């Protein structure tokens, strides 16, 4: 069964600390995505990847880095976390075909204090 798994599911971080959010997919999809969801802003694309070794900036990449070490794994990295990065983060994967709807993970709730 196709799956996108995120870890951790909940995270509390301190301002200025480093945070890494992980995503694993078993769908053998080429493309992976990181979104954040905030009230009033909906889902916004942070970074995406075409495949292992590639990362691309999405619509709101500032303050975030991404890493795609393998086909299955895609990480979102906050080097210096700030309270404005408190949000719910979703990872998704897709096969790169225009008509294919990306599959979403369960989400990670991040609070930066």
Partner 1 sequence: AQKVTQTQTSISVMEKTTVTMDCVYETQDSSYFLFWYKQTASGEIVFLIRQDSYKKENATVGHYSLNFQKPKSSIGLIITATQIEDSAVYFCAMREGYNYAQGLTFGLGTRVSVFP
- Using CB under 8 A, which of 66, 78, 92, 112 touches partner 1? 92
Residue among 57, 46, 58, 3 at smallest CA distance from 26: 3
Tokens (6 digits) for 89: 């983060």
From 11-19, 45-53, 67-75, 76-84, give the range in contact with partner 1 by CB under 8 A.
45-53
Between CA 9 and CA 84 the distance in angstroms is 19
- How many positions of this chain bind partner 1 (CB under 8 A)? 27
Between CA 76 and CA 57 the distance in angstroms is 12
We find the least distance from the C-beta atom of residue 39 to partner 1, in angstroms, to be 9
Cβ atoms within 10 Å, residue 96: 11
Between CA 78 and CA 72 the distance in angstroms is 20
We find the least distance from the C-beta atom of residue 79 to partner 1, in angstroms, to be 22
- Using CB under 8 A, which of 23, 25, 33, 78 touches partner 1? 33
Contact 90, 103 (CB under 8 A): no
From 10-18, 67-75, 77-85, 90-98, give the range in contact with partner 1 by CB under 8 A.
90-98
* Residues at the site binding partner 1, with contacts judged by CB under 8 A: 30-31, 33, 35, 40-45, 48, 50, 56, 58, 88, 90, 92, 96-99, 101-104, 106-107
């Amino acid at each position: 069964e196709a799956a996108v798994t995120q870890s951790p599911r909940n995270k509390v971080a301190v301002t200025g600390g480093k945070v890494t959010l992980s995503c694993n997919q078993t769908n053998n999809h080429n493309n992976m995505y990181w979104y954040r969801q905030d009230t009033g802003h909906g889902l916004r694309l942070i970074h995406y990847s075409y495949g292992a070794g590639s990362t691309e900036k999405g619509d709101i990449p500032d303050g975030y880095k991404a890493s795609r070490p393998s086909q299955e794994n895609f990480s979102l990295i906050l080097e210096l976390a700030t309270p404005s990065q408190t949000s719910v983060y979703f990872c998704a994967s897709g096969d790169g075909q225009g008509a294919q709807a990306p599959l979403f993970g369960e989400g990670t709730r991040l609070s930066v204090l």
